[in-house]
């Protein structure tokens, strides 16, 4: 059964990654997994690293490794502002594992409760999620 389509836009600091109509958006916020269909109630949320799925149709699904960011749903439009949005086949697992190890080491060296430590912890969470996505 076809669903009503709505506009979805994915933006990173490097520019637009996606801008098209979709039937559904599946992502994860800080409070849990979320599926967005047309005519969704207005919503703002903080995004967690996960596999973003953009359902153009039931069988045409764009998968992206999504980093942390923000989500806004309003007026039948979904906007995702994320640090990174990468196609899974473009992820380099060994590079991600190396970056994860470096982040974990730097987090251990940083002062507890420091902004530097929090940045390394956040980056490590992203790299773990991206490693999982690269492996699927």
Q: Residues 98, 11, 33, CA angle at the centre, nearest 5°?
A: 75
List Cα–Cα distances, 108 to 47, 73, 112, 117, 130, in angstroms.
25, 37, 8, 8, 21
Q: Name the band, by pLDDT with cuts 50, 70 and 90, for residue 1.
A: very low
Could you read off the pLDDT of 85-133 as tens digits, one per residue?
Answer: 999 999 999 999 999 999 999 998 888 888 999 999 999 999 999 999 9
Q: How far apart are CA 88 and CA 30, in angstroms?
A: 22
pLDDT above 90: residue 63: yes
Helices 115-135 and 93-109, packing angle to 10 deg? 160
Residue that is written with structure tokens 């979320």 in the block: 34
DSSP-assigned letters across all residues of 20-32: EEESEEEEEETTE
Rounded to two decimals, what is the model's pTM? 0.89
């Amino acid at each position: 059964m076809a669903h009503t389509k709505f506009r979805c836009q994915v933006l990173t600091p490097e520019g637009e990654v996606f801008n098209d109509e979709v039937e559904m958006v599946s992502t994860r916020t800080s409070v849990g997994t979320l599926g967005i269909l047309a005519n969704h109630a207005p919503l703002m949320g903080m995004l967690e690293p996960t596999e973003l799925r953009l359902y153009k149709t039931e069988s045409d699904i764009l998968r992206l490794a999504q980093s942390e960011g923000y989500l806004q749903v309003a007026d039948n439009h979904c906007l995702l502002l994320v640090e990174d949005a990468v196609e899974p086949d473009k992820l380099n697992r060994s590079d991600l594992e190396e970056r994860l190890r470096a982040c974990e080491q730097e987090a251990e060296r940083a002062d507890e409760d420091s902004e530097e430590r929090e940045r390394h912890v956040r980056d490590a969470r992203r790299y773990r999620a991206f490693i999982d996505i690269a492996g699927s």
